[in-house]
Structure 1
């Protein structure tokens, strides 16, 4: 494909993705209030009795519901969105690898939702209890509506994306771009990059950064295992045939065409 062909393909995939995202948005907007109330459960369980969220700008609540509907629509349309992403990558794959586009797209959506669910059920309860634990008789927590929503939606999307790490490791290993050995050698740089990413995606506090960095470290180790199992093997090394051949070559016996010196 030429550069113009790639740009045309990208335009088609973007348009279809935006249409799917719009359909998901309108499908979820009617349930925006219920979705937001469900999103508030981890915080309301941690807040002292009688505490409520506040908003200071009149249209703030309206835009909050729109953001909730948009993100919920993205999760709803995620199988189709990931399908479009993999279709854009497909022209660079072999015919055998193109047959796995649909299963990989489905797995991508599953990992994306699983990451958000992990954040909601495992990270939010501990994070909110930690933050609210600083409240005293003179310091009362009064979270602002848009700030709370921005924090939670950013965390949900971030965890959804980082849970794609083993899947991308599988894909890159199958293409021979990365190997388990290379990932082990670059582990210390990966750990540094993980903490940098966690610092960028989370609020400026150590607790939130650790809550994101810890799963990323585990996922990186899982990705190494995935690359080791499913990575592209070098020709002739799967059964150790090359290694045995090299050892046999080193102990090669003289043939009839070789001169054996006598006395």
Structure 2
């Protein structure tokens, strides 16, 4: 097993890191610029469909309700809310932010590639061979998390707050006229936070490599993890039990998968 590449000075590390960051910014900027030119398509088919009853998630829960003989708010043709702009630069700012986050999401695999290229010189040869797997796994987990946030967390949250009223029938007196910035912020936080949460197995892998966590430690505190998961689900979802259960299940599965990851790392270290 060969040793890591020759050590460099702190300033040399900073210089290399600077160029990794610059290349990452350039890629995100290019994708964001392309997204800006396709803003109409992105808003029409990706951002705003959550306000329509024909969104796949709403149709699914509508069919589930009808299967059990109940008619739910998910069956409405349109959510009772109006997206509005109340500032001069509101729509332009919304376009810039959506373009930026589109650049981050689409450019995420390249960001992981640049991060790996920065840390790879300090690893052994056999560890560098994991580069392709690292980029692929982190990108896949992030994509799954983004899709989960887009199709589960975001629609459930938007639907709940759009249909919530302080008094039954109050929608005639109090109309939900939501500022576009608030709407986009909820959509963005749901999607990006889920994308990052789904990186848990990768985080555990590196913590296990550093000896910070072990499989026995994670099994010992499994009950605590369940409580924290329920709390996290309560924070990122609407305050109803069904939504919290739907969100907590994949997070708990990720935790169990992370235990196997930590066990794999521990076994590899024992063999070496």
Q: Compare relative contact order (CA 8 Å, sep 6+) and give the higher one, 1 or 2.
A: 2
What are the residue-to-residue correspondences of 1:17-56 with 2, within 5 Å? 17-37=24-44, 38-45=46-53, 48=78, 51-56=81-86
Alignment equivalent of 1:151, drawn from 182, 186, 195 = 186
Deviation at 1:175, TM superposition (A): 6.0
1:70 counterpart residue number:
100
Q: Tell me the CA shift for residue 174 of structure 1.
A: 5.3
Is there any run of 5+ residues in structure 1 with no aligned partner, and where? Answer: 239-263
Q: Does 1:219 align with 2:259?
A: no
Partner of 2:129: 99
Deviations 1:191-249 (CA, angstroms, capped at 9, x unpaired): 5665676677x48x64599465554333112211232245434546x9xxxxxxxxxxx
In 1: Cα distance, 2:222 partner to 2:265 partner? 19
Q: CA deviation at 1:68?
A: 0.8
Give the TM-score normalised by the residue count of structure 1: 0.76
Judged with a 3 Å threshold, the aligned counterparts in structure 2 of structure 1 residues 107 and 234 are, in CA distance, closer, same or farther, namely closer
1:161 aligns with 2:196: yes
Match status 1:117 vs 2:170: no
Cα pair 2:200 2:254 within 8 Å, conserved:
yes
Q: Please tell me whether Structure 1 or Structure 2 has the larger radius of gyration of its CA atoms.
A: 1
Distance 1:21 1:114 in 2: 20
1:80 to 90, 98, 110: 110
Q: Scaled by the length of structure 2, what TM-score is found?
A: 0.74
Distance 1:93 1:12 in 2: 20
**1:15 maps to 2:22:** yes
Distance 1:13 1:196, change over 3 A: farther
CA drift of 1:96 comes to 0.3
After superposition, the Cα gap between the structure-2 partners of 1:7 and 1:225, relative to the gap in structure 1 and judged at 3 Å, is same
Structure 2: stretches of 5+ with no match in the other structure: 1-6, 54-73, 166-170
The RMSD of aligned alpha carbons is: 3.0
**Mapped contact 1:132–1:141 kept (Cα < 8 A):** yes
2: CA distance, partners of 1:41 / 1:49: 10
Q: Distance in 2 between matches of 1:177 and 1:101?
A: 22
In the TM superposition, residue 171 of structure 1 has moved relative to its aligned partner by 4.4
In structure 2, distance between residues paired with 1:213 and 1:9: 40
Q: Distance in 1 between matches of 2:247 and 2:19?
A: 34
